[in-house]
Amino acid sequence: MTGNPAWARALSALALLAVDPAGLRGLTLRARSGPVRQTFETALARLPDPGRRIHPDLSDTQLFGGADIAATLAAGHLIQSAGLARTPARLILPMAERTPPALAARLAQLLDQSPGHTLILLDEGLDAEEAAPAALTERLALHVTLDAVPHTDARPLLPAPADLLAARARLGQVNHTPQDVITLTTLALSFGIDSLRAPSLALRAARARAALKGRTTVSEEDLRTAAELVYPARATQLPQDPPPETEEEDSPAPDPDQSSERPDIPDEILVAAVAALLPSALLDQLTRQQSLRRAAGSGAGARRKAQHRGRPLPARPGAPDGRARIDLIATLRAAAPWQAMRRKTRPDAPGLIIHAPDIHLKRFEDRSDRLVIFAVDASGSAALARLAEAKGAVELLLAQAYARRDQVALIAFRGTSADLILPPTRALVQAKRRLAGLPGGGGTPLAAALEAILSLAQHAQAHGLSPALALLTDARANIALDGRGDRVQAAEDTARLAALCRARALPAIVIDTANRPGPEPARLAAEMGARHLALPRADARAISAAVATALGD
């Protein structure tokens, strides 16, 4: 179809989905907005089945239908609205990485109970932390990544709709052998895929490709193409080399009748084809030790709208969608002044006459959990004093964390690197244990500290936390980001990362702990868009109070 292998796989996935939409369930596309993704969506629109675009904020009523409150009030009897689930279609979900868990569960239920529906996830996540829900991607057979495809190679070249429909008609005649099942299952096992759904979906894809090629039996090429489209995104480990075989003189000869039934290890070419398509961040995902819990809310972080809990807000007019609750008092208050006028037009109507604009919905404001990141300069001769003060400040904040629902993390930087000494926690006992013996001395890798802060803050935001920073340093950076002792390069790296902190609007305070305050911390605070506070004689309580005031406690 095209000279670019990644684009050819994308078009192949679309063609297979057109041949067996009920069996493959759908496709996950990971690509940012741009001409390449737009071309892919153009090709997607040419598939035979009807398509409907949905939104991550889709309500249960819009999806499954339900009582139309506004129409019911106007008509005086119950009127049901039809949801998207009633008519089988290809559902296209942009911004799939923002899908809330409730909608993911509903869509998974729809895929399990309604074979006529297929789902296309358009995942625009910037990194591995931002991804479509696993409950959906695990149910969809095909996975396509277009990040490395130049726009000059992207052309919507698909088989003609008549050919796709003919292949769909041939699908029931395609046969496979037990050895094909063994090959796909063993291949999945070699990549750490423990779900039986993956080999089943891969077999479906292989049969669809055979039907598309006009064959009635699955070939090795069909198995390879199916494995390339199904397995790489599900892999949890790199394939291991089989142990060397040892010959034993007394070992019995294999039975020729049973040798053909014994599962064979997948062909090395097949393993290499799948391994070549593994995501580049697979090793990072496998070695990542820390993971943050999703915040439950009601903390001291950023404000966000809530449906059922939090601080009550004034009710607002709106259409009931199955999520927000109707504010009965506000609704009656809005309808009361119009009763005399409405009674003239509907004298036989029983009770109050309520129109759709009268309906008011309850609103709440919740707060996400806040993560206070302490970044402590542990370099130089005064490091031990600063570390002791930071330990006391962290312990004071932790003692109040249960009331404010704050979490606290500690990053210490010295020498050539910055280390996460205390992962995000509220556990006071664990914090004291981790803070017991922090070493000090060496250079000031301020750029490395800012890089670690940004990484942790991004991780926290992806898990629903509101990060805030308290940076204790004299800001006299002398270690560049690459670990070299170069003050000029260190200053450039620090300024660049400080500007990135400012661009991400990270609430922060820079606390100058030098014995003689200099201009560097104030300049760093200005570059970060943070508050500057000079505390050359700061103790734990002063630091704790300053952080609480500056970060909006």
Helices (H), 77-156: 101-113, 134-137
Burial (0-12, 13-18, 19+ Cβ within 10 Å), 3: exposed
Supply the pLDDT for residue 175: 92
Element (H, E) at 304: strand 303-306
- Percentage of residues in the chain having pLDDT higher than 90: 15
The tokens for 185 are: 């299952």
Q: Which span out of 90-104, 270-284, 403-417 was modeled with the highest average pLDDT?
A: 90-104
- For 437-478, give the DSSP string: -----S---HHHHHHHHHHHHHHHHHTT-EEEEEEEE-----
pLDDT, residue 287, reads 41
Q: Identify the pLDDT of residue 289.
A: 36
* DSSP code for 355: -
- Answer whether residue 209 shows pLDDT above 90: yes
For residue 121, pLDDT over 80 is answered with: yes
pLDDT above 70 coverage of the chain, percent? 73
User: What band does 19 get if pLDDT is binned at 50, 70 and 90?
Assistant: very high
Secondary structure element (H or E) that encloses residue 511, with its range:
strand 508-512
Q: What are phi and psi of 7, to 5 degrees?
A: -70, -35
Residue 347 tokens read as 């004298």
Mean pLDDT in residue range 108-125: 86
Is the pTM of the predicted complex or chain greater than 0.85?
no
Looking at residue 291, its pLDDT comes to 39
Per-range mean pLDDT, top range of 36-45, 205-214, 303-312, 330-339? 205-214
Query: What pLDDT score does 47 carry?
Result: 87
pLDDT at position 375 over 80: yes
Domains of the chain, CATH where assigned: 5-165 (3.40.50.300), 174-238+265-281 (1.10.8.80), 303-367 (no CATH), 370-550 (3.40.50.410)
